[in-house]
Structure 1
Amino acid sequence: MSLKSSTKVDVNTQELTFAVDAESFAAAIEKAYQRQKKQITVPGFRKGKASRKIVEKYFGEGVFYEEAINSLINDEMPDAIKNAELVLVDTPKIEVISADTENGVEYKAICITKPEITVSEYKGIKAPKNVKDVTDEDIDQQIEQIKQRNARIVSVDNRPAQLQDEVIIDFEGFMDGEAFDGGKADEFPLKLGSGQFIPGFEDQIVGHSIGEEFEINVTFPENYQMEEYAGKPATFKIKLNAINETEYPEFDDELIKDTTEFDTVDEWKADIRKTLEERAETRAASEFENYIMQFLIDNVEAVIPKCMFDHRVDSLIRNFEQSLKQQGMSIDIYLQYTGMDMDSFRETFQERAENEVKLRLALEKIAELESIAPTEEEIDSQLQEVADANNMSLEDVKLRIPMDDFITDLKVSKAIEFVKDNAVIDNTIDPDKKNEESEESEEAAE
């Protein structure tokens, strides 16, 4: 196979014309016949016993052309494209121009190529890195969580119901003197102040005692989900059967000993403060990186083929489907639950896919500009982790994974660190304000 011509026909689109000589085409036809002959039946011959000439006479001279041409393309075109120094981002579209045993094959391939990328700014990016101070209030919240986890529910019979109590009630609702569907329950547990019932319902139970029977009057909200009840007044007959309250333990050394690995409150507080400080630092670092990465996305200059976004959406959906399978659900069932069709579902991934493609291209370009590449030791170290995780040898891993892609991934990771290392912390920047300005700019552009 030889490359006859290479012509740029559009942005990111190259048309390649290839020629296969008659001898190579003839050899490919013979291989196609040998692969297929056991399945071929010709009248007057046992299955698989008809010669190639007989088969071609019966089915037509070009009976093996398609498989022969496809095998030539699959076997030889990747190297031909590589020799043409093209990086493709989609499967080429093939069109056979001519094919016969005397002259061989000529075909053209329409190739979508990786776009040229310009990243105008990637050194000295200014970004905020605000590490939140850990306050006494933060520690108090952690204390409250421990008390909540170790609280117990106790019955109360010496006082009326209060907000935050759990009450056990029988109730029945009436509209215009008539009971309505769904308005009745017995032994129903309700935490007062939770907002579980319509406004006014829970507040009117406060102050009543066990054994009391009483009525409360409420009005359903105008936007109530059951339209036949929306905006209408109702009366509920209530019987209060029980009152329970939450009893919280004392926060002291004894509680800490019983519930944590520490012996004293002071030890626990010191550790929790350190943990919260580490979390604050991690969160700030993550927000710092996210800001920088979004800056790169916003400053990528390129005409990016739509197929790259489509392929990324496909990948994200495959990952999502895999996650659903682990939960015992199919994508079809998920779409039924959410009321979406596949087109609208794909649309939910579009923005993320576009951002990820832009960022990847930007980082690959930065790696190229800065000659960023992993060392052999770094490559082997990363591969060894893969090998250990899969109980394989390093050599087996190298044979089984696409090494070019793996090395590119490492380049991208190193490019991220390069950009972060060269960024400048500027806490005068309001990241929320930047996002608002970006949205306003997009609206103005539209």
Structure 2
Amino acid sequence: MKYEILKKENSEVTIKVTVAAEEFDKAVLAVYNKDKGKFNIPGFRKGKAPKTIIEKQYGEGVFYEDAVNSLLQLHYEKALDELSIEPVARPDIDIEEVAAKSNLVFTAVVTVAPEFELEGYKGIEVEKINAEVTDEMIDAEIEKTRNMNARLVSVTDRPVQNDDTVIIDYKGFVGEHQFDGGTADDQELVIGSGKFIPGFEEQLVGAKIGDHVDVKVTFPEVYHSDELAGKDAVFHVTVKDIKFKELPELDDEFAKDVSEFDTLDAYKASLKAELEVSSAESAKAAQRDKVIDKVTELITVEIPEKMIETEVDGMLKEFNQQLQQQGLSLDQYVQFTGGTFDALKEQMKPDALARVKTSLVIEKVMNQESIEVTDEDVEVELTKIAEMQKRDLEEIRNLFKQDNFEYLKSNLKSRKTVDFLVDNAKLI
């Protein structure tokens, strides 16, 4: 076999791989021995037909595809290793030559990380994140708790207002046709929640119990139901009940009900202490993000589109896993939101680009500053994980030992690199 670099251009390397004819013929023979039982040849028992007879009836290349596939992966990986190439995306492979008794020749266009210089990241000026806890923040938390402990009270002496909860029956029509999925009884709806199609909730404001309201709407041009997309519709709505949210009084009794404290002042003091801890943690995380964002601005090289696409694919997998935990699939999400799969991918591209740049920056600084992880660093991290998960330290150690702690070390090196950038940033 022969591996050679044909061309380097921007962030793409074109390599040529030549596999000796003898190896290709052996791969073809291996495929024949594996698959010969699949062919029914007149005059031969199943699996007993000679290779030449099968090739004569089905074509000389009948076994080529599987033979080529088996050699492609093997020699592509070997070529990357021998030529010291680190791909960042799937290659574009082109078969140049393939025939019996001949060399198998293929080329691969490999996307690699762009080469760039990174300077000026030490002492970079970044806006300081304020972690101060204000009275307004405490009041906002209290209001959340009040709303969680509110009760719905029916009203009969006024019409529907914004933020009311209404109980309604409705039937949806497009023209004279009552469409599927547009009918419900005793539906609970918070006015102003945006739960229903745009324009629906607003038209119920001012209605009274027992009123029949014709709600006229237009479905979005992009909608999960092709039958309704872009169509005008009318919902015949009956208002059956109106309820408003009655908040508990803000006093000592409220504090006793929602906390372990006897007075409102003590409850507020406790909330402030909790918020100071969470605010400090949030500010620290936000500060790290700001520093990284600022350093990535130093990258002026163009990022290969394939790197972004690969990152988008990874983000889609993550998102799909999150949806599955909620009992949904990616296809269902796209359908329910009235979008398209391509639109979702396009929407993810800016975040994917930011992720790629962050990864490149961390890798570059890590190498330039010779940041390493010690055995002591690993042991401290293992102890933290064991304590957080309330598991035996030896159990955690054996878990990460399976890959010689490489996954853990990689994460720690990245974290130490970001720590280095934050420590060397100038907060203003």
Q: TM-score, normalised by structure 2?
A: 0.70
Give the Cα separation in 1 of the matches to 2:163 and 2:25. 88
2:256/2:263 contact within 8 Å kept: yes
Deviation at 1:153, TM superposition (A): 6.9
Q: Is the 8 A contact 1:379 1:407 kept in 2?
A: yes
Contact 1:165/1:246, CA 8 A, preserved across alignment: no
Paired with 2:25 and 2:326, the residues of 1 have a C-alpha distance of 53
What pairs with 1:122-141 in structure 2 (closer than 5 Å)? 122-141=121-140
Deviations 1:44-103 (A, max 9, x none): 111111233433444444433332232122223212211201111222333333345545
Q: CA deviation at 1:198?
A: 7.0
Is the contact between residue 21 and residue 102 of structure 2 (CA under 8 Å) also seen in structure 1? Answer: yes
- The number of aligned residues is 375
Q: Does 1:298 align with 2:300?
A: no
The aligned runs of 1:125-274 (5 Å cut-off) are 125-144=124-143, 201=206, 246=246, 248-249=248-249, 251-252=251-252, 255-274=254-273
Give the corresponding residue for 2:83: 84
Q: Is the 8 A contact 1:13 1:110 kept in 2?
A: yes
Q: Structure 1 unaligned runs (5+)?
A: 170-187, 206-223, 227-240, 427-446
In structure 1, what is the Cα distance between the partners aligned to 2:65 and 2:155? 85
Which residue is equivalent to 1:65? 64
Q: How does 1:323-342 map to 2 (within 5 A)?
A: 323-342=322-341
Give the deviation of 1:269 after TM superposition.
Answer: 3.1
CA distance in 1, matches of 2:61, 2:263: 87
Greater Rg by CA = 1
The amino acid that maps onto 2:251 is: F
Please tell me the residue identity of whatever aligns with 1:417.
D
What aligned pairs does 1:111-122 form with structure 2 within 5 A after superposition? 111-122=110-121
Over the residues paired in the alignment, what is the CA RMSD in angstroms?
4.7
Worse overlay, 275-284 or 51-60? 51-60
1:355 paired with 2:354, answer: yes
Q: 1:69 to 1:142 in 2, by over 3 A?
A: closer
State whether residues 21 and 103 of structure 2, in contact with CA within 8 Å, keep that contact through their aligned partners in structure 1.
Answer: yes
Give 1:360's aligned amino acid.
Answer: S
Gaps of 5+ in 2: 168-187, 192-200, 209-215, 219-240
Closer, same or farther in 2 for the Cα pair 1:112/1:288, shift >3 Å?
same
Following superposition of structure 1 onto structure 2, how do residues 276-291 of structure 1 map, counting pairs within 5 Å? 276-291=275-290
Q: Percent identity?
A: 31
Q: For the Cα contact (< 8 Å) 1:123–1:419, is it kept in 2?
A: yes
Contact 1:151–1:249, Cα closer than 8 Å, also in 2? no
Q: Secondary structure of the equivalent of 1:417?
A: helix
CA distance in 2, matches of 1:87, 1:322: 28
Alignment-derived partner of residue 423 in structure 1: 425
Say which SS state the counterpart of residue 106 (structure 1) adopts.
Answer: strand
Contact 1:154 1:247 in 2 (8 A): no
2 CA distance for matches of 1:261 and 1:425?
A: 39
- Pick the aligned partner of 2:414 from 412, 415, 418: 412
Residue number in structure 2 paired with 1:8: 7
Matched with 1:315 is 314
When normalised by structure 1's length, the TM-score is: 0.67
Q: Which moved more, 1:15-24 or 1:353-362?
A: 15-24
Partner of 1:372: 371
Secondary structure of the residue aligned to 1:30 is helix
Contact 1:154 1:245 in 2 (8 A): yes
For the residues of structure 2 that align with 1:22 and 1:69, how far apart are their CA atoms? 12
CA distance in 1, matches of 2:89, 2:151: 62
Q: Distance in 1 between matches of 2:380 and 2:40?
A: 56
Deviation at residue 167 of structure 1 after TM alignment: 11
| Secondary structure of residue in 2 paired with 1:46 | coil
Deviation at 1:155, TM superposition (A): 8.9
CA contact (8 A) 2:288 2:422 kept: yes
Checking the alignment, whether the CA contact within 8 Å between 1:19 and 1:104 is kept in structure 2 is yes
* C-alpha distance in structure 1 between counterparts of 2:424 and 2:90, whole Å: 37
